[in-house]
A = this chain, B = another copy of it.
Amino acid sequence: MTRTTPRYVPKAEFDNLFNTVCNWGRWGPDDERGTLNYVGPEQVRRAAGLVRSGRSVSMAVPINKTAGADNPRPAAHYMVQHFDIRSDLGEPQFSTDYLASEFHGDCLTHIDALCHIAYQGKVYNGKPASSVTSRGPTLQDITAYAHGIVSRGVLLDIPRLRGVKWLEPGEAVTTAELEAAETAQGVRLSEGDVFVFRTGHHRRRLELGPWNNGYDGEGKAGLHVETMLMLHERKVAAFFPDGDGETVPSNVEGVAYPVHALQIAAMGMACADSLQFEELVNVCEAEKRWEFLVMAAPLRLPGGTGSLFNPIAVF
């Protein structure tokens, strides 16, 4: 199947799109939860009602401690103490460790706080970018999600739809294709859902090795910005992609990471980054369903612009 070049979006169209999907003020001037406001009691009950086999599956990439093309500053993980030290008090003995890491790495499964992105001097809800200094954010930090994300997850598996192992860098998934995947899998993204979006990014990584997926590298596959209209209309609460949802290079005139700008700054969407669904798809195929309970909780880190996390799907 030959892929066409993604449609190029002029800046004026992008600005219109930004305004159309913008949720500033929708949940009050000081709201910090954004589209998670779509998750109400009904959504949580619906999600819990999907639990049947009890299988749970991680959607996180194991934390990578080795430098590589997409991991230039790998996490530092060291033992602090192991059983060569007997407690001064006798038994038992303890082993302990230490982890140091950035959050927003290209192969570190993490979730973004809304303060992670500013567009034209403003973060979500129209707050000034100056609310984030070298001391950290004064609003919209990751503790806005402290009580976790619990809702229905809907996987749209684009490589499955296309019959390929993965999308190639630079490819952009359109609204039509998302709808085709919905039809093929018998699901429909609805209010309060966690949109689990698979391009096969991690599958490619496993098979071909890590690659630099930034602007100075080979790029990556993601969503075409037009799909933001669909996510907005469907009232999607959260976005959990492999990759980070962006098509690199961008298809928008003069905007480098347009999906981040729209999802996080305009819509206030809870966006994760660098998940993997290789175990998940096996369970989905085995259970013949592409919806499940998602539960995810970032570390409760005051001032965090995000957090490493381990999101779980329960069937």
List residues of chain A with CB under 8 Å of any chain B CB: 39-45, 47-49, 51-58, 60-63, 65-68, 71-74, 76-85, 87, 89-104, 109, 115-121, 129-130, 132-137, 143, 146-148, 150, 215, 254-257, 260-261, 265, 293, 295-306, 308-312, 314
Contact = CB atoms under 8 A, between A and B. Distances in A.
A299 to B, nearest CB: 6
21 contacts: A41-B53, A48-B51, A54-B150, A57-B147, A58-B300, A60-B300, A62-B301, A67-B68, A67-B74, A89-B257, A90-B254, A90-B255, A94-B117, A95-B115, A97-B303, A98-B102, A98-B103, A99-B100, A100-B101, A150-B295, A299-B309
A45 to B, nearest CB: 6
Contacts of A55: 41
B255 A77 contact: no
Given A91-B120, A91-B256, A300 B96 contact: no
B116 A94 contact: yes
Contacts of A300: 58, 60-63, 109, 310
A44 B314 contact: yes
Contacts of A52: 41, 45
A43 B100 CA distance: 36
Q: Closest 8 CB pairs between A and B? A: A67-B67, A44-B54, A89-B256, A100-B100, A48-B51, A41-B54, A148-B312, A297-B310
